[in-house]
Amino acid sequence: MKRLGRISERMVEGVFTVSGAITGVAILLIVVFLFREGLGLFNSPSVENGYVLCVNAQNTAENLTVAEIKRIFDAEITSWQELGGGNGEIMLFRFEEIFNIYAEEELGEDYALLPEKLGQVIVENPNVIAYLPQQYAPTDMQGVKLLPVGNINISDFFGGKEWIPTATPAPQLGVLPLILGTLLVSIVAILIALPLGLGVAVYLSELAGERIRKLMKPTIELLAGIPSVVYGFFGLVVLVPIVQKVFNLSVGETALTGSLILAIMALPTIITVAEDAMRNTPRAMREASLALGATHWQTIYKVVIPYSASGISAAVVLGIGRAIGETMAVLMVTGNAAVMPHSLFEPIRTIPATIAAELGEAPAGGAHYESLFMLGCILFVITMIISITAEVISKGQPDKGI
Amino acid sequence: MDKQASQRIAFIIFRILGMIVVGILLWVLGFIIYNGAGVISWEFLTAAPEEGMTEGGVFPAIVGTLCLVVGSMVFAFPVGVMSAIYTNEYAGNGWLVRFIRIMTNNLGSIPSIVFGLFGMSLFVNTLGFGDSILAGSLTLGLLTLPLVIRTTEEALKAVPDSYRTGSRALGASKLQTIGKVILPAAFPNITTGLILSIGRVSGETAPILFTCAAYFLPKLPTGIFDQVMALPYHLYVIATSGTDIEASRPVAYGTALVLIAIVLLMNLLAAFLRRYFGKKIKTN
């Protein structure tokens, strides 16, 4: 009997041990699944899956970049010369156009003659570039050359300045505007929230009476719990019109609006962490300062603030981390224009907002879908770095026992 | 400048800052309450949306949020408590515990949208749960796990060591000590953590966007593989993409107020429990 008890006890303890590892396992799983989907992006062809680009065999242009393909089809590049080819004017040919040339009957049963006819078009027009479904592409025909497009590469992804994932034939997956948008909104938010937050932290820890403190601190902590979608709604109906009116803009959904709402959301975090750090200043240090004739204010900024510097920095870092990862509020108030940010008064888009807005429409397994997971990976790495930084910084605070 | 004068100026500035910030935060709260209070009625809480979300109530969304809260807690609460028991009672103070703590902290700092991506990839696609309460609950459970673990650990730490040594001295095994002495003593504080987690889970939007949330469902969910409507997602869609955004504003205010009320109630309840049981333990 006793033995049975001991065995079952061991088993329960085993369950505890396994549970203990759960957070580590969870992080491992998150890394595996995010990167598995995300890294697939760099094995995807840079034109839409299942489609190819064909040119005349005499065409000498090679190694077109994704951006160049897009500009060709937007008719921004009009001559092969710009791409290192002959000096003919580029002729665009999209698959559907074949039906303007030939009636459906002429293409044979089940479109059996379609590849041949497509091939003819390409052979006859030396300056053509044709965007065709792979199954009909006349790849083995004399005089037709398959344009090698290669896979989406890392430098195009991280260095690209355009985010147009639905562009055909070549989706533009440059994350630079999204990364810069995220950083802009978050950093401005912290610049707004920091002076306010620190001021309140000083007030709470040094000036406020015990009664006010006991009332204010829980209230502020309570506000940290309000769901971000509610802040987003508040931003949408209150801040957006205010920003539009005050700065006389055509739309109120701007980077600044996002920063304001993020600043409001980051305030409770900054205040709580910074106030805790300041209250940790040993009484002996304050008393020593006062005894030397310093005023209360001099004690605050010459003793308390320097002493709690690492705690305050941790508050800043945590605030930035929260701002960078914030999704709903930013999605609702920044206008969601995936362009390189030029000023605070224009719509921008952040990484989390992009994922939230687009994942629902991106077909699973496609380049767009994978690129959104890659954005998730970027976000994950950034927040990991921030969280570890905060941990290292807050360890820097000297111990209380002096 | 005279140091007394500069102190006076500095302190005035700090007082004003304090008032500004509290003012801003109360403004957010007050705005929602002021605009939402008139919308809330018994009908609003118990009827389904009508007329393209411009009329009717939010009942299905409340039910959906309830399902997600229960589902995520069924997963996160036992696992979180056991995990905290391991780190606090068994693991000692070595590198393993430090590593686990770092992992827990890091998991807590991952943005909620990343949990959404992960939940979609693992639960919805790989495990084949589809958009369902199950997938959403597991995603939300994972998200709130660090909070459960942290609060439980604090609760366990608050139990004096004399309880442990006393129990062991009477011949109880370690597991008996945990089950009969430590857990009952820590129970009120653990409950506080549970309540806080419920508040957190009921407000999250990003993780459920792609794992379970539906724009509109004509009927209530019948099993764990159904999609659900949920309050935060409901607020998001009627605030940004309804058929008639202006006409659905009152419903949006009402939904926001219900959401805030849930979160605030949970927080107040937790604060109350903490104070109530805190006193009780001290007097013992």
Which numeric CATH code is attached to B42-283? Answer: 1.10.3720.10
Give the domain ranges of chain B. Answer: 1-37, 42-283
Q: How far is CA B48 from CA A5, A163, A174, A329, B228, in A?
A: 53, 39, 43, 26, 13
pLDDT of residue B279: 59
Candidates A2, A12, A19, A28, partner chain B, best to mutate (most B CBs within 10 A): A19
Tell me the chain A residues in contact with residue B199 when contact means C-beta distances shorter than 8 Å.
225
Contact flag A207-B14 (C-beta cutoff 8 Å)? yes
ipTM of the complex: 0.90
pLDDT of residue B243: 67
Who contacts A218 (Cβ-Cβ below 8 Å, separation ≥6)?
B271
> Tokens 């897009």 correspond to what residue?
A70
pLDDT of residue A1: 57
Tell me the chain A residues in contact with residue B249 when contact means C-beta distances shorter than 8 Å.
237
pLDDT of residue A399: 53
- Pair type for strands A163-164 and A128-133: unpaired
- Which residue from A77, A74, A46, A81 is spatially nearest to A60, judged by alpha carbons? A81
- Please check whether residue A318 lies inside any domain of the structure: yes
Q: How far is B133 from chain A (nearest CA, A)?
A: 17
Render pLDDT for B116-134 as a digit per residue (tens, 0 to 9): 999 999 999 899 898 899 9
**Higher-confidence position of A105 and B198:** B198
Q: Does A253 touch chain B (CB under 8 A)?
A: no
Are A81 and A190 members of one domain? Answer: no
Q: How far is A32 from chain B (nearest CA, A)?
A: 9
**Contact of A163 with A338, CB cutoff 8 Å:** yes
- Which residue from B158, B150, B153, B141 is spatially nearest to B106, judged by alpha carbons? B150
Contact flag B113-A379 (C-beta cutoff 8 Å)? yes
**Contact of A218 with B271, CB cutoff 8 Å:** yes
Q: How far is A332 from chain B (nearest CA, A)?
A: 7
- Which residue from B201, B174, B163, B181 is spatially nearest to B80, judged by alpha carbons? B201
The beta-carbon neighbor of A328 closest among B32, B174, B205 is B205
pLDDT of residue B280: 57
* Per-residue confidence in pLDDT tens, chain A, 402 aa: 567 778 888 888 888 888 888 888 999 999 999 999 898 888 888 777 778 888 887 777 777 777 778 778 877 777 777 777 777 778 788 877 778 788 777 777 777 777 887 888 888 877 888 888 877 777 777 778 777 777 788 888 888 888 888 877 778 888 999 999 999 999 999 999 998 999 999 999 888 888 888 888 888 888 888 899 999 999 999 999 999 999 998 888 999 999 999 999 999 989 998 998 898 888 899 999 999 999 888 999 899 999 888 888 888 888 888 899 999 999 999 988 888 888 889 899 999 999 999 998 888 888 889 999 999 999 999 999 988 888 888 776 555 444
Who contacts A217 (Cβ-Cβ below 8 Å, separation ≥6)?
A204, A272, A275
**Higher-confidence position of B25 and A184:** A184
Are A188 and A297 members of one domain? Answer: yes
Contact flag B28-A225 (C-beta cutoff 8 Å)? no
Who contacts A206 (Cβ-Cβ below 8 Å, separation ≥6)?
A278, A296, A300, A304, B14
Among residues A104, A132, A150, the one where a domain terminates is: A150
Among residues A150, A165, A193, the one where a domain terminates is: A150
Are A55 and A128 members of one domain? Answer: yes
Q: Say whether pLDDT at B42 is over 50.
A: yes
Among residues A133, A150, A167, the one where a domain terminates is: A150
- Please check whether residue A165 lies inside any domain of the structure: no
Assign residue A66 the CATH number of its domain. Answer: 3.40.190.10
The beta-carbon neighbor of A230 closest among B18, B32, B115 is B32
Tell me the chain B residues in contact with residue A355 when contact means C-beta distances shorter than 8 Å.
113, 116-117
Render pLDDT for B49-93 as a digit per residue (tens, 0 to 9): 877 677 778 888 999 999 999 999 999 999 999 999 998 888 877
Contact flag A199-B122 (C-beta cutoff 8 Å)? no
Are A126 and A245 members of one domain? Answer: no
Contact flag A271-B21 (C-beta cutoff 8 Å)? yes
pLDDT of residue B283: 43
Q: Does A234 touch chain B (CB under 8 A)?
A: yes
Contact flag B111-A264 (C-beta cutoff 8 Å)? no
- Please check whether residue A30 lies inside any domain of the structure: no
- Please check whether residue A319 lies inside any domain of the structure: yes
d(CA B163, CA B166): 5
The A residues from 342 to 401 touching B (CB cutoff 8 Å) are 352, 355-356, 359-360, 364, 372-373, 376, 379-380, 383-384, 386-388, 391
d(CA B259, CA B267): 13
Contact flag B100-A227 (C-beta cutoff 8 Å)? no
Q: How far is B221 from chain A (nearest CA, A)?
A: 21
pLDDT of residue A258: 94
The A residues from 23 to 82 touching B (CB cutoff 8 Å) are 23-24, 26-27, 29-30, 33-34, 36-37
Nearest-CA residue of chain B relative to A388? Answer: B106
Q: How far is B78 from chain A (nearest CA, A)?
A: 9
The HSE-up count of residue B1 (CA atoms within 13 Å, CB side) is 9
Are A186 and A146 members of one domain? Answer: no
- Please check whether residue A130 lies inside any domain of the structure: yes
Tell me the mean pLDDT in the region B207-232: 86
Residue B47: CB atoms within 10 A of its CB come to 15
Q: Which DSSP helix (H) or strand (E) runs through B232? A: helix B231-240
Are A125 and A181 members of one domain? Answer: no
Could you give phi then psi for residue A399, rounded to 5 degrees?
Answer: -70, 160
The beta-carbon neighbor of B113 closest among A12, A13, A355 is A355
- Please check whether residue A316 lies inside any domain of the structure: yes
Q: How far is A284 from chain B (nearest CA, A)?
A: 21
Domain that holds residue A337: 176-395
Are A118 and A182 members of one domain? Answer: no
Q: How far is CA B246 from CA A104, A349, B40, B59, B86, in A?
A: 49, 24, 18, 21, 53
3-state helix, strand, coil in chain A (%, to 5): 65, 5, 30
Contact flag B109-A321 (C-beta cutoff 8 Å)? yes
Q: Say whether pLDDT at B284 is over 60.
A: no
Contact flag A26-B107 (C-beta cutoff 8 Å)? yes
Tell me the chain A residues in contact with residue B242 when contact means C-beta distances shorter than 8 Å.
none
pLDDT of residue B136: 94
**Contact of A345 with A247, CB cutoff 8 Å:** yes
User: Mean pLDDT, chain B, as a whole number?
Assistant: 87
Contact flag B126-A33 (C-beta cutoff 8 Å)? yes
d(CA A191, CA A197): 10
Number of compact structural domains in chain A: 2
Tell me the chain B residues in contact with residue A182 when contact means C-beta distances shorter than 8 Å.
none
> Tokens 């504080």 correspond to what residue?
B189
Q: At what angle do helices A309-325 and A367-395 cross, to 10 degrees?
A: 170
> Exposed, middle or buried, B135 (CB in 10 Å: 0-12/13-18/19+)?
buried
Q: Does A11 touch chain B (CB under 8 A)?
A: no
- Please check whether residue A267 lies inside any domain of the structure: yes
Residue A362: CB atoms within 10 A of its CB come to 18
